[in-house]
């Protein structure tokens, strides 16, 4: 997946990384910032997604400008599936559309322009879920996705270290849920991995 990334994807990733970096130092207000994952997190979630079972949907909650989705599109291409990614803000939707059109990944990505929590009813079984939205909705997202995750499927929540206090209720709920094996991995901002066990 990582050895033959299309030049257009690399160029757009570089472009978005530069904007994200600039956002973080120039005082751009929070809701306008791209707030992307770093590249190592992109690689990490892609490696995990590539090993998820094929019998459910691959979803992302929080597209922003589509940087993390570009990493997941590498998986979609390899597995012959389509990632469904949810974004609520019109400015971010516009940027994400630009990202997907410029890089030619539209056949691997479906952008759903809606609040995930009101759209979750449209989702079937879930093989892979990357949760990277406002921290206030993590608990509700976990509650609505957990029962959809297929055995050996994975839910990953971003910001498990830098926003630990804000998402602690979700982390504690997942840790107490006997259907899941969970672990926080200290990569990027901290990735909280929940694997649906097979028993
Ligand atoms: C941290 S950013 C996502 C960054 C992106 N995953 C990346 O790494 O490139 C969070 C995004 O989630 C979106 N968001 C927040 N609440 C949402 C919701 N209820 N449904 C869909 N998207 C939501 C925000 O508008 C924002 O663009």
> CA-to-CA distance for 120 and 67, rounded, in angstroms?
22
Domain count of the chain? 1
In a domain, 79, yes or no: yes
Ligand 1 neighbours (beta carbon < 6 A)? 35-37, 61-62, 64, 67-68, 86-89, 92, 115-117, 132-134, 137
Judge whether residue 37 has pLDDT over 90: yes
Q: pLDDT band at residue 27, thresholds of 50, 70 and 90?
A: confident
Residue nearest to ligand 1 atom 22, measured at CA: 87
Ligand 1 centroid to residue 149 C-alpha, Å? 20
Q: Range with the lowest mean pLDDT among 21-25, 65-69, 80-84, 121-125?
A: 21-25
pLDDT tens readout for residues 173-195 = 999 999 999 999 999 999 999 99
In a domain, 1, yes or no: no
**φ and ψ at residue 152, rounded to 5 degrees:** 75, 0
In a domain, 2, yes or no: no
Residue nearest to ligand 1 atom 15, measured at CA: 133
Judge whether residue 164 has pLDDT over 90: yes
Q: Which CATH number fits the domain that encloses residue 156?
A: 3.40.50.150
> CA-to-CA distance for 184 and 181, rounded, in angstroms?
11
Residue pair 189/182 in contact by the 8 Å Cβ criterion: no
- Give the residue-averaged pLDDT of 28-38: 92
Ligand 1 centroid to residue 139 C-alpha, Å? 15
In a domain, 113, yes or no: yes
Domain range spanning residue 99? 7-196
């Amino acid at each position: 997946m990582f050895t033959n990334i299309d030049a257009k994807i690399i160029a757009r990733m570089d472009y978005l990384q530069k904007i994200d970096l600039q956002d973080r130092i120039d005082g751009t207000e929070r809701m306008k910032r791209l707030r992307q994952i770093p590249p190592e997190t992109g690689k990490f979630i892609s490696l995990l997604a590539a090993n998820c079972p094929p019998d459910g949907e691959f979803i992302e909650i929080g597209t922003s400008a589509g940087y993390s989705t570009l990493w997941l599109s590498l998986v979609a291409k390899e597995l012959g599936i389509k990632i469904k990614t949810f974004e609520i803000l019109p400015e971010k939707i516009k940027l994400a559309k630009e990202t997907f059109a410029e890089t030619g990944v539209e056949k691997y990505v479906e952008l759903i322009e809606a609040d995930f929590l009101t759209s979750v009813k449209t989702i079937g079984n879930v093989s892979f879920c990357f949760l990277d939205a406002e921290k206030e909705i993590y608990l509700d997202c976990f509650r609505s996705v957990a029962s959809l995750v297929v055995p050996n499927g994975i839910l990953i929540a971003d910001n498990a270290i830098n926003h630990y206090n804000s998402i602690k209720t979700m982390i504690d709920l997942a840790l107490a849920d006997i259907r899941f094996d969970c672990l926080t991995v200290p990569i990027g901002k901290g990735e909280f991995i929940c694997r649906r066990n097979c028993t």
